[in-house]
Structure 1
Amino acid sequence: MKEAKRFNKLVIHMEACYSGSMFEDILPSNINVFTMTASNPTESSWAALCADPEIDTCLGDEFTHQWMTDTEKRQVNKWTLGEQYSTVKSAVKNSHVSKYGDLRMTSLPIGEFQGSGLNTRSLGNSEADWSTALDRSMSSHAHLVSLMHQLKRSNSSRQRELAHQRLHRAQQLSKFVKDTVDEVVEEVISQAEPNGKSSDVHKRLQCFRKVYEQYEHKCFSIQQVPELSDELEKFDHLCEQGYDANVIVQAIFTTCD
């Protein structure tokens, strides 16, 4: 996009587990792109407002709520990206909000990227109301919320039994995914030697992409078992240490055959 001159200056807010890994040592600091992420490269972000038993899902996430409501209550032509980053970083309690890219842009007002003018309307619920109502879950575990709600509101022994089976199955799948990834790692380490730690980030990413695509094809996907996102760092570490992607893929085929 930069080479095609599709933007002058670009701001990205990313909400995802391990979202810092999308930019750390990857995003240049001189192409007029500033990024704020919900978490650093090694941790989950957090879903929020998960307590409503009738909806069976979390309605938001901690990071997005904080930066959007901060924008709503500021004079956006004066409040800077740097001030918003510091405010959001302090307000988000369960993950480490991080910044990447061109940090010179932190002196720019958020109104250049999120609209302009003076905000005058009331926010309704206060921050205290939000904090009191907040029911959080790690984003990678948020799918379990609906299963727990189903179990809590079961009206008969049969409903409770079915709800418990679904929850137990999901938890067992989570454990199975962890076990398969660990088996792949053990197989690789026992069968091959690393080529040495590489400083080429793009080469490492190519290795990881190839490995994940094959794991997803042969074993499980994040859509099937969201907790897989908690385990993928192990594949990235193998690539970082210099293990050949083909060796890792062969271990995946052996483990998940």
Structure 2
Amino acid sequence: MKGSVAFILVFVALSQATFVQQFEKLNRARNNFDGKIWAVVVAGSNGYYNYRHQADTCHAYQVLRNHGIPDEQIVVMMYDDVANSEENPTPGILINHPNGPDVYKGVPKDYTGKDVTPENFLNVLTGNSRAMLGTGSGKVIKSGPNDHVFVYFADHGAPGLIAFPTSELYKNDLNNAIETMHQRKRYKQLVLYVEACESGSMFDNLLKTDINVFATTAANPSESSYACYFDEKRKTYLGDRYSVSWLEDSDNENIEMETLHKQYEVTKKKTNTSHVMQYGDTTISHEIVGFFQGEKPSALNNAPLPPIYDDVPSPDVPIHILQRKIELATSHDDKLKYKVLLEKEQEIRRRISWTVKTIAFHSTEGDKELTELTTLSKPSLNDMECYKAAVQEFDNTCFELDDFEYGYRQIFVLGNLCDAGIPVEKIMSSIRIICH
């Protein structure tokens, strides 16, 4: 009995000591951070079947707002065509997990529709207010050398790029903007969370480790991210596995005490369908989450959440939605309609795959071995200017990527053609010939 009491006393003492150490560490960190927190949250997609991206982004806004970051220090970019879509059975409401609260209410509409572009995003991030005059709210990040900046992005991706509704943001352009911010002393520390397929390719072997930037991504440079939480009422996926993992952690944890490293580990453990990655200055991960998502304690959501379920690779979401609609259909006509749509989706995927392989064959002048290599391996993207030009030509001439998002799964071949040293003029000529 005495041994048990002694053990309990030692355990309590150790627990108290650990708490004191954490408290002292927090105070030291607070003494080193006396600036503001600025945030940019972006949903880069449109269309009701991409419901989850805008729900993720609205939820991110609610986390930041609930933890005390004022609206004037948060910029929201989203197409804003989902909440009030005729397909939404709860008009004006978005939820991010089953039976969850409305995350759409109160979200500012800084930039919507055609204003959600890579150029505007980079202008907002770098504080270029002159370029944003007359566009949306005109709001930009006005951060300085003592401030923290938090960026969250959710949408589709491909090697070396993340997608916006009508165009793409390439890894070089994003990293150049970050370096510009560093040179102009636009932040003390910058943290990015990126939800997209192959999102690791935006930073891998590129994001510097000495410019006070820490990034985590939903996937490594060569794999899909995953959607989750299929909702039978809304007939779409409510969230993305990586995003809901960190968002639900921020809802349920004391983020004014939790470190970024702990949140990364929690998110990594819960995201068991893809490899959550970290890049840049990983020492920043020992900072407090609240220094980037808001320091104000908020009422914790103690209601038990369901385990994350219904994970599907993000590129296959349209297929799975149609399959579920067929299962849920209560009339023969509806079943037939969805079967026809599913067949069309599968056919367009076959056409896109055939088109890209034929472009590769034409560009390599019928070299079967080289063609096979370009259609099997992931690109190094050693020639980004060639890759960008080829992707844009493919988007303009063959399949608009915002309408035919399966194309993002195939354009790696264009990167391989560039890596193989095939002149960009030859690749673009092949694209025009095949697609015309």
TM-score range (shorter-chain normalised) is 0.7 to 0.9
Distance 2:366 2:321 in 1: 42
The residue number in structure 1 matching 2:349 is 174
My pick for the range that moved more, 90-99 or 148-157, is 148-157
Are positions 1:125 and 2:304 aligned together? Answer: yes
Q: Percent identity?
A: 27
The residue number in structure 1 matching 2:80 is none
> 134, 138, 162: which one pairs with 2:337?
162
Shift of 1:3: 2.9
The residue number in structure 1 matching 2:215 is 35
Contact map agreement 1:141 1:226 (CA 8 A) in 2? no
Distance 1:110 1:22 in 2: 22
- Greater RCO (Cα-Cα under 8 Å, separation 6 or more): 1
The residue number in structure 2 matching 1:204 is 383
> 236, 243, 246: which one pairs with 2:425?
246
Alignment of 1:1-257 (within 5 A): 1-50=181-230, 52-118=231-297, 120-126=299-305, 129-131=306-308, 134-190=309-365, 204-257=383-436
The residue number in structure 2 matching 1:198 is none
Contact map agreement 2:245 2:267 (CA 8 A) in 1? yes
Distance 1:253-1:123 versus aligned 2 partners, 3 A rule: farther
Distance 1:10-1:185 versus aligned 2 partners, 3 A rule: same
Letter in 2 for 1:136: D
Distance 2:355 2:429 in 1: 13
Distance 1:74-1:159 versus aligned 2 partners, 3 A rule: closer
Shift of 1:119: 5.2
Shift of 1:191: 6.2
Distance 2:273 2:410 in 1: 19
Letter in 1 for 2:208: P
Distance 1:94 1:221 in 2: 29
Distance 2:401 2:410 in 1: 10
Distance 1:123-1:226 versus aligned 2 partners, 3 A rule: farther
Contact map agreement 2:253 2:300 (CA 8 A) in 1? no
Distance 1:139-1:25 versus aligned 2 partners, 3 A rule: same
Deviations 1:138-160 (A, max 9, x none): 11121233322332233333332
Letter in 2 for 1:153: L
Distance 2:212 2:325 in 1: 47
Indicate the RMSD between aligned Cα atoms, in angstroms: 2.1
Shift of 1:61: 0.5
Contact map agreement 1:76 1:116 (CA 8 A) in 2? yes
The residue number in structure 2 matching 1:197 is none
Distance 1:142 1:123 in 2: 31
Question: Unaligned 5+ residue runs, structure 2?
Answer: 1-180, 371-379
Distance 2:325 2:347 in 1: 18
Contact map agreement 1:211 1:248 (CA 8 A) in 2? yes
Distance 1:123 1:151 in 2: 36
My pick for the range that moved more, 117-126 or 60-69, is 117-126
Question: Unaligned 5+ residue runs, structure 1?
Answer: 194-200
Deviations 1:17-66 (A, max 9, x none): 1111111122211111111000011011001112x233122110000011
Structure ID, larger Rg = 2
Distance 1:55-1:120 versus aligned 2 partners, 3 A rule: closer
Shift of 1:253: 1.0
The TM-score, its normalising length taken from structure 1, stands at: 0.87
More strand by share: 2
Contact map agreement 1:77 1:111 (CA 8 A) in 2? yes
